[in-house]
Chain A
Amino acid sequence: MAARLTRYGLPAVLILVAFLFPLVEGYLETDLMYPIIIITIYVMLALGLNIVIGFAGLLDLGFVAFYALGAYVVGWFASSQFQQVTFSFGATTASLTGEPIPGIHISFWLLLVLAGAFTALCGVIIGAPTLRLRGDYLAIVTLGFGEIIPRFFQNGNNLAGFNLTNGTIGIKAIDSPGFPFLPDSMSALQRFGTLDLNPWYYTILVLVLITIYVNVRLRDSRLGRAWISVREDETAAAAMGINPVTTKLWAYALGAVFGGLAGAFYGAFIKNIFPDAFSFNISILILCMVILGGMGSIYGVILGAVLLQGVNFYLLPQMNEWVHSIGAAVGNQALSSVDLPRYNFFIFGVILVTMMLLRPEGIIPNRQRAEELHDHGPGSGDAMEGATRA
């Protein structure tokens, strides 16, 4: 009975809390909505990366590439980036004069699907030749792609005279999602605005719930078991008839899909995207969330994402103020003008090192993963392959 309660009761309560949150927030007027939406985007990214790292045991250091690709898909097809073309389909923007607006404007909901498909395709293209590499080399290759794609966007304002990405300025004024066919009385849903953030919140919440559902179902599926076996011992898994490359490719592509979906939502939400927003640091931030929470553990990964973004949004600015007031009291110029949030990656670096040294399985560990990480016998045959194996 207790097991059933934690299995179904806990998620039900958490989902209920998540759905009721905007009501509470609206009642208390705490201005929490914006950071909460960003945090939720990161929860989704972390869950996507969890498929790659937690389930399949592949270290992906370039996850930000898929995030960026998803955002740029929305940028390309829901803004006035391509002035040469005028095409509109289910878009929420309409010009005042009734003239069609230049650029491609496609409904966000279709683009969401397109972004998922596009990033999956990119995941397969990147993964197919690289996934036969050993773990640490694969990590570097993914890092290479994670670096190339934002740099390409940065330089893509003049590809043989064609402006694909608008360079460092990025793509501006991306259309809002919405349901333009609804009656005018429901204007908040017709076109998601910047004042009422609830529709945005529910959209990303639904996306996250889909991600969690897929995560859970994958973990318990035939494919999920194949991931575990490939992660633990690739050779033995191959001998049992599992194709390691296809299995890994699935993990890589599925992770990419969720990265792309989160990116697409981010692009529409933030409205202006530019290459600097997709740096290597983001990949490491997401990696840090997965490691802190617990590789392969869904609760853990969500907790990790919430904690780290909490550090970014609340703890550091708060500590900054404390340090400033201490500095002002002591009369120390350096202390009263220090900018702590700038050093957030110092904390993330420390988290990565200490977690790996002290508790590699994370705060809320996945039981199987924890045993793998603590099984130090030379014959453990971990997919990550212990360094001692001679």
Chain B
Amino acid sequence: MTPAPAITVAGSASIDGGSLFAPLALTLEAAQWTCLLGGSGVGKSTVLRLIAGLETGAAFDGRIAASDAEPVVERVAYMAQDDLLLPWATVAQNVGLGARLRGEQVDRARLDDLLRRVRLGDHAAKRPAELSGGQRQRVALARTLMEDKPVVLLDEPFSALDARTRADMQELAAELLAGRTVLLVTHDPAEAARLGHSIQVMTADGLTPVTPPTAPMPRAVDDAETLLCQGALLRMLREGGQ
């Protein structure tokens, strides 16, 4: 893996001539977690999909660049709210999907090591249907790590999980994705307050940076400063929606 670069997104997007988001400038600092927080329909997923080089249905006018001037798209790994596990493939085959799709040899030793790190070492031969929601999302995390890309794009990956599993997953992801440039798109103020090295609130008016709590991430769920930050973020979301 090459050293994690910083990523900058600058520009505006429109759908059928109507503005989706006004001109904005977003910087994902190298090897840091940037949380992009916003309500539904403000275009936060569009920003993530633009960086990933995915279809957005919107016309983007601007530029996306990495600090080392190398191309961005082939250095991202992507994880979505839906775990996107192939139901017909085993856990191990799902984790090794990227290599199989590129016609490369799957590094079995690394795959087994990653499954152990997401605490699924005994489940390699199982099908996704045999796993719980939290386990499935851990397989998805292992698949993302297997790609070993310096930039990781997370599109609300924990929002379908119950509160306890979500908190566990946040900590596991924070641990395993350390050293990579991470964009976490979320609508959950608590998640942004726990995980962001930097936090940006996205509303129809654009981006507003928010100072994150001082504790190192992942912050404790009951850390006073984190809870205050969570409250402030929710207030901003509600005011921005009007």
Partners in one complex: no
Report B's interface with A, CB cutoff 8 A: none
Report A's interface with B, CB cutoff 8 A: none
